[in-house]
Amino acid sequence: MEPPPANAAQLAETSRGFARRLLTIGENRLEQLNELSTAPEPLDPSAGTLAVPVVAASGSEPAPAQPDAAPAAKAAPVQIALVALGVVAFLYFARPVVLPVFLACMAGMTLKPLIRWLSCCHIPPGLSAAVVLGLLVFAAGIGFSELGRPAMTWMNEAPQHIADLRQRLQKIVPRAARFSLAATAVINLGATEEEQKRAPSVELKTSRFPGIFNWTGTVLMGVGETLVLLYLMLASGDLFLQKLVRVMPTMGDKKRAVEISHEIQHKISSYLFSVSLINLGLGVLVSGSLFWLGVPNAAMWGTLVAVLNFIPYFGPAAGIILLGAVGLLTFDTLWKGLLPSAWYLLLHLLEANLITPMLMGRRFALNPVVIFVFLIFWTWLWGVPGALLSVPILVSIKVVCDRVPSMSPVSELLTSESNSTFANLKLLRLRKLGASADSSDPIG
């Protein structure tokens, strides 16, 4: 038998040292497992791992506690709702201050292209703003002086007109008269004979002129504030835009602010100019048709219909009812009395379905449901001025949402279906790709 090699002792010592290290590592691992088994359970039972306490080394500062993101995530929607309610309350109670500002901003965006054109003709912005506002006030004064007198006369005779309209309806539609008598009989069913024969009491009220004067003063004050603010905005030029660009932190934000401002001005001015031109033509056609039919004060009714047409949905409905009442007061027969409202309905359908889409195209393809909701909200908030401002405010919000990437879902919600066809096709394609990927995955 051959003697062992010279390094056999060294190899044996190395093997024993390696075995001792493995034994030490195994013992440490067992101690760690025992500590984990005796550690407390985590706060969230659905968590997949145990919460192991971390012991800080001696002489070192304790590790800061990790903030819990769940309460902050739950509080974010509540904070947004509270802020929204606060803004609505502020707009409602601060109407005398905020409404002239909104009206001046919308009018300034509409007249800004005209001021820029006059500035290109080397006319100072202050002088051009004064000329434009002077012409507008002069035209409005002539219109009120010519149409205000017949309007005031008709309003003073409104109770007599209502009584005449009731008699005409009872004469033209006998069933309505019988229904009115039946309703009166039902109301007097529980009354005694003396109560039925008793004359109705007449209550004398104080004059309404103080209230009318207060209302007129408030309106005139609001108009004056709007005109002064509008002149200052037009005369200042792009001062506010320059200030806004100066406070923006990055060059990308500056560029985006300029693009949003110019696009809002362009779309608001295009929308109001197009709608004003359409309503002016509609008012002229209605006035001409009423004059040809023999309706008195045809120009006044045509102007009123043109102004009402600025309000979506409710304005045309009010115009149809108003012209129907005027026709029934003017003519004796039912079919001839309903002819003015029928003619206006025909013109409105032609304008809404052919002329307006042809002039505006897809630039203002807004969701009709959102338009109706905005109309109800702003009418409740500010009345008739709010109804007139509802669509321009919606257009401004749509422009901002188009330019800000984080608000793209809101922009999609405000867009009508005809303008989001390609987005729907893309979504359908992504769904098909997702379904094919799910079907190709192995089961298990």
pLDDT tens digits, one per residue of 349-370:
998 888 888 877 666 678 888 9
Q: Is 49's pLDDT higher than 50?
A: no
pLDDT tens digits, one per residue of 234-259:
988 888 888 888 888 888 888 888 88
Q: pLDDT band for position 70 (50/70/90)? A: low
Residue type at 50? L
**pLDDT > 70 in the chain, percent:** 68
The per-residue pLDDT of the chain, averaged, comes to: 76
Q: Is 283's pLDDT higher than 80?
A: yes
Q: pLDDT band for position 102 (50/70/90)? A: very high
Residues near 259 by Cβ (< 8 Å), separated by ≥ 6? Answer: 403
Q: Is 297's pLDDT higher than 90?
A: no
Reported pTM: 0.66
Q: Is 190's pLDDT higher than 60?
A: no
Which two three-digit tokens encode residue 378?
């702003």
Whether the CA torsion 406, 407, 410, 414 is positive or negative: it is negative
Q: Is 280's pLDDT higher than 60?
A: yes
Shortest CA distance to 413 belongs to which of 381, 350, 365?
365
pLDDT tens digits, one per residue of 393-443:
998 898 888 888 888 888 888 887 554 444 444 445 555 555 554 555 444
- Tell me the three-class secondary structure of the chain, residue by residue: CCCCCCCHHHHHHHHHHHHHHHHHHHHHHHHHHHHHHHCCCCCCCCCCCCCCCCCCCCCCCCCCCCCCHHHHHHHHHHHHHHHHHHHHHHHHHCHHHHHHHHHHHHHHHHHHHHHHHHHHCCCCHHHHHHHHHHHHHHHHHHHHHHHHHHHHHHHHCHHHHHHHHHHHHHHHCHHHHHHHHHHHHHHCCCCCHHHHHCCCCCCCCCCCHHHHHHHHHHHHHHHHHHHHHHHHHHHCCCHHHHHHHHHCCCHHHHHHHHHHHHHHHHHHHHHHHHHHHHHHHHHHHHHHHHHHHCCCCHHHHHHHHHHHCCCCCHHHHHHHHHHHHHHHHHCCCHHHHCHHHHHHHHHHHHHHHHHHHHHHCCCCCECHHHHHHHHHHHHHHHCHHHHHHHHHHHHHHHHHHHHCHHHHHHHHHHECHHHCHHHHHHHHHHHHHHHHHHHHCCCC
pLDDT for the residue numbered 184: 61
Shortest CA distance to 323 belongs to which of 284, 286, 276, 278?
286
Q: Is 53's pLDDT higher than 90?
A: no
Residue type at 424? N
Instruction: Output the CA–CA distances (angstroms, integers) from residue 390 to 9, 58, 282, 317, 383, in the order listed.
Output: 97, 67, 21, 17, 11
Instruction: Output the CA–CA distances (angstroms, integers) from residue 287 to 35, 181, 354, 414, 430, in the order listed.
Output: 93, 38, 21, 36, 54
Going from N- to C-terminal start, the domains of the chain cover 92-183+223-237
